[in-house]
Amino acid sequence: MKAHILTITLNPTVDYCTTAPAIIPGPKLRCTEPEIDPGGGGINVARAIKLLGGQSTALVAIGGATGAHLLQLLALEGVPTVAFQGPGETRQSVSVIEQTTGEQYRFVMPGPVWREDDVPRALNSVDQATSDGTLVVLSGSQPPGVAKDFPSILSDHVAGREARLIVDTSGPALFHLVEQPHEALEVLRMDQEEGEELAGRPLPTPTDTARFAAELVEKGVARTVIIARGADGSVLSSGSGSWHSVGAAVPVVSKVGAGDSFVGAFTLALAGDEPVEQCLRFGVAAASAAVMTEATRLCDSETTLELMERCSLIRL
């Protein structure tokens, strides 16, 4: 039986994606009818899991009319959702593709500022939605006002429920997790640039990346550390070894959602007790499937399974 999966999105968004003939200052830019999707790291992870044939629950902070619209979008996609009241109005984000060049311009709003009493409400919602063995996924940016130690505080709550925590974050929250290991996470994911900044040195090869990831595992930061190397796939290190997986060469339409698709596929495989290296391979395949789609369409099951057969997997 697969473990229950709960994704957490503190700073969700309603994403608008449109196109314009050219992006230039001054005149009104006449855009095409936008595609409108629910967005935010944890939401996209839950959407990817749904597209891959799995099931999860999305725990989402919402506010105002945009928050209500977000819940409607999630219902239309069939993603089970637990909402709790967040501060202010749920944010909106806009991406515009320039038709003449194919370049994509992404305008991401910061979201409402959280107050001190908003965080306990979020943690209480997590406690109510988490049971023994749940895989809890914290993904995406933290809202303004949420302290950098939130993932560490969340780790305490998850450990108290005998659940496992997967974190895909960046910035101060990521640095705090690495500099002050608290309760060992199940999985910590970051990208190559963040890994090099944390390591304080270049990581030019997969072996270099794996060595640094293994250092973090040994330090007690997480039981498994994943570092995404862009087109060069992803590297994973755990107590049982290190692996490097690279996806098949595919046409890139949009990179939006590739990381969330990776996390969704990886978590779904982990929930099914697949070996960690196969979870890595499934995640890389889902990321490859996602870049082949427009806007925030994410991955799909058929393409991901086909691409998985073409993903390399090497033990380092």
CATH at residue 154: 3.40.1190.20
Burial class (CB in 10 A: 0-12, 13-18, 19+), 46: buried
| DSSP letter assigned to residue 74 | H
pLDDT confidence band for 295 (50 / 70 / 90): low
Residue 235's beta-bridge partner residues?
A: 227, 244
9 vs 116, more confident: 9
- Domains identified in the chain, total number: 1
Q: For the chain, what is the mean pLDDT?
A: 92
Q: Which of 27, 19, 92 is nearest to 254 (CA)?
A: 19
Residue 170, domain extent:
5-315
With residue 136 as reference, give the H or E element that holds it: strand 135-139
18 vs 141, more confident: 18
What value, to the nearest 5°, has the Cα angle with vertex 214 and ends 211 and 220?
150
Catalytic positions, written as ranges: 260
132-160 tens-digit pLDDT: 889 999 998 889 999 899 998 898 888 87
200-245 tens-digit pLDDT: 999 999 999 999 999 999 999 999 999 999 989 999 999 999 999 9
- Read off the tokens for 284: 């890389």
CA–CA distance, 152 with 180 (Å, rounded to integer): 9
pLDDT confidence band for 296 (50 / 70 / 90): low
